[in-house]
């Protein structure tokens, strides 16, 4: 056993150097050509396919799978990218078991859906590795569009606008483009710097200028943009993190899961990343699972996810929950943080209240408590808009938009996690960015 494993506190280098590479390798190694053909052959080419209906970007899944079977992976990639230019990342991070693969008729038939996500990755990998571009920039319209946020929504919007011939400037507060694809997703889902490769692939169409390190509300205001540009798309995601509202949450060792995930993605040497011996992750979503699993992979001895409701209410998919369990994460339900226990200003434990639903169905503390000893606590209890909206109307803490992504302000559209509507998923953000671009284009061309 490596000595670092049992060290108390938050320390780096818990594992042997080679162990890091193994732990953070590709979660789903890509399908080989033969595996892809055999898997693709399982597709029934359904009429009005349920998988396609379940896909937020409405990719023609039966068609692209049939193109794989007939040894036409480029045709398959084009079919995918027509609907979803970030089809490569979606193939890696989509909770397919809740979307296309849940709807697959072979799930109904035998509990084993066609591996649509992996097939999508196979086809998109072929095209991206060969750097085949399927779309051309439209004839210049002279119209200028500003996009805030170079995440999935912003990139999808930018690409579609460029196809229509508009000139796009994308501002992003972070040093790199990609948004949550670059900063917010577990490393083992996006290996080999895929997020940046995808940014390059998407922007290769031309007419898209990405300016990083430029934040809304700091470097420019929304009014600046509406004045200078013909249209604006807001896709900056949720920059703020919800407060725990538990005593002691400012102690050393209480961190935001989203920052931990970002640091991990940006680290050049994983052995330099400190992690607690005993870690508690608060939350029940994908971010909580990503943080919990990666804590374990960095060498934490005990990792516990606590969620205030039951298994059925968790936002993390069944697959993600199973993945966490398989990696040795303990998931505990019906527990809400009450008090962070500290020793010398450092986290030493977390006191939790047992929760239950009362007769009216409201979540209530039962009065009983328990304590989990830990050195580190990650908060993954949801994110918030980091600004007050800068004059755009909000609804439920998000930018209110209509079905086309239009906000309350003229010339301003929004999509992705920062806007209302849809789940907070990469694929949903892509759909919203793409559809907003179509709406913007109709507006700019006077339709």
Partner 1 sequence: MADIRNNFVGIKSPNPFWLASAPPTDKAYNVERAFKAGWGGVVWKTLGEEGPPVVNVNGPRYGAIWGADRRLLGFNNIELITDRSLQINLQEMKQVKMNWPDRAVVASIMVPCEEEAWKAILPLVEETGVDGIELNFGCPHGMSERGMGAAVGQVPEYVEMVVRWCKQYSRMPVITKLTPNVTDVRRPARAAKNGGTDAVSLINTINSITAVNLDTFSPEPSIDGRGSHGGYCGPAAKPIALHMVAEIARDPETYGLPISGIGGVTTWRDAAEFMALGAGNVQVCTAAMVYGFKIVEEMISGLSNWMDEKGHKTLDDFAGRAVRNVSDWQYLNLNYVAKAKINQDLCISCGRCHIACEDTSHQAITKEKDGKRHFEVMNDECVGCNLCVNVCPVEDCITMEALAPGMLDERTGKIVSGEYANWTTHPNNPAAKVVEPAE
DSSP-derived pairing of the beta strands 346-357 and 335-343: antiparallel
Q: Which is nearer to partner 1, 55 or 436 (CB)?
A: 55
DSSP-derived pairing of the beta strands 208-212 and 167-172: parallel
Assigned token pair, 125? 């990998």
Q: How many residues bind partner 1 (CB under 8 A)?
A: 17
Q: Is 108 exposed, middle or buried (0-12, 13-18, 19+ CB in 10 A)?
A: exposed
Interaction with partner 1 in 79-138: which residues (CB under 8 A)? Answer: 105-106, 108-109
How far apart are CB 406 and partner 1 at their closest, in Å?
29
Q: Which is nearer to partner 1, 113 or 235 (CB)?
A: 113
The single residue among 50, 138, 217, 421 that binds partner 1, judged by CB under 8 A, is: 50
CB 123 within 8 A of CB 73: yes
47 contacts partner 1 (rule: CB under 8 A): yes
373 contacts partner 1 (rule: CB under 8 A): no
Q: Residues near 382 by Cβ (< 8 Å), separated by ≥ 6?
A: 241, 242, 283, 285
Q: Which stretch binds partner 1 (CB under 8 A): 43-51, 143-151, 157-165, 413-421?
A: 43-51
String marking each residue 54-73 x if it binds partner 1 according to CB under 8 A: ---------------x----
DSSP assignments along 138-204, one per residue? PPP---EEEEE--SHHHHHHHHHHHHTT-EEEEEESSSSS-THHHHSS-GGGS-TTHHHHHHHHHHT
Buried b (16+ CB within 10 A) or exposed e, 230-242: bbbbbbbbbbebe
Q: Which is nearer to partner 1, 74 or 105 (CB)?
A: 105
16 contacts partner 1 (rule: CB under 8 A): no
Q: Which stretch binds partner 1 (CB under 8 A): 35-43, 139-147, 395-403, 429-437?
A: 35-43
Closest residue by Cα to residue 140 from 447, 444, 446, 404 = 444
The single residue among 2, 8, 22, 41 that binds partner 1, judged by CB under 8 A, is: 41
How far apart are CB 129 and partner 1 at their closest, in Å?
21
Please report, as ranges, the residues that interact with partner 1 according to CB under 8 A.
34, 37-38, 40-41, 44-50, 69, 105-106, 108-109
């Amino acid at each position: 056993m490596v000595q670092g494993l049992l060290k108390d506190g938050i320390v780096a280098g818990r594992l042997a150097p080679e162990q890091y590479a193994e732990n953070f390798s590709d979660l789903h190694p890509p399908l080989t050509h033969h595996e892809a053909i055999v898997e693709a052959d399982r597709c029934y080419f359904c009429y009005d396919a349920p998988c396609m209906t379940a896909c937020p970007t409405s990719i023609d899944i039966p068609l692209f799978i049939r193109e794989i079977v007939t040894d036409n992976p480029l045709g398959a990639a084009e079919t995918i990218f027509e609907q979803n230019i970030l089809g490569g990342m979606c193939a890696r991070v989509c909770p397919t078991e809740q979307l296309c693969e849940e709807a697959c008729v072979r799930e109904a038939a035998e509990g084993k859906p066609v591996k649509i996500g992996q097939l999508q990755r196979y086809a998109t990998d072929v095209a991206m590795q060969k750097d085949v571009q399927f779309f051309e920039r439209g004839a210049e319209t002279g119209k200028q569009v500003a996009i805030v946020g170079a995440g999935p929504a912003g990139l999808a919007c930018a690409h579609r606008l460029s196809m229509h011939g508009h000139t796009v400037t994308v501002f992003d507060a972070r040093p790199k483009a990609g948004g949550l694809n670059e900063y917010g997703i577990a490393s083992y889902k996006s290996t080999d710097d895929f997020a940046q490769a995808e940014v390059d692939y998407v922007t290769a169409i031309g007419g898209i200028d990405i300016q990083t390190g430029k934040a809304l509300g700091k470097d420019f205001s929304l009014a600046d943009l509406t004045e200078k540009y013909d249209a604006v798309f807001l896709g900056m995601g949720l920059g703020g993190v919800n407060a725990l509202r538990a005593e002691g949450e400012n102690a050393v060792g209480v961190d935001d899961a989203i920052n931990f995930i970002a640091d991990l993605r940006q680290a050049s040497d994983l052995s330099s990343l400190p992690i607690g011996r005993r870690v508690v992750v608060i939350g029940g979503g994908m971010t909580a699972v990503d943080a919990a699993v990666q804590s374990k992979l960095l060498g934490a001895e005990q990792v516990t996810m606590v969620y205030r409701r039951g298994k059925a209410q968790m936002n993390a998919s069944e697959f993600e929950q199973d993945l966490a369990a398989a990696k040795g994460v303990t998931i505990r339900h019906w527990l809400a943080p009450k008090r962070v226990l500290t020793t010398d200003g450092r986290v030493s434990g977390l006191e939790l209240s047992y929760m239950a639903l009362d007769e009216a169905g409201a979540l209530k503390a039962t009065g009983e408590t328990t304590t989990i000893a830990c050195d580190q606590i990650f908060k993954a209890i949801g994110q918030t808009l980091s600004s007050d909206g800068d004059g755009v109307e909000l609804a439920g803490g998000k930018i209110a938009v209509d079905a086309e992504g239009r906000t309350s302000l003229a010339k301003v559209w929004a999509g992705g996690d920062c806007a209302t509507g849809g789940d907070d998923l990469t694929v949903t953000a892509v759909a919203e960015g793409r559809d907003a671009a179509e709406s913007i284009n109709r507006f700019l061309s006077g339709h």
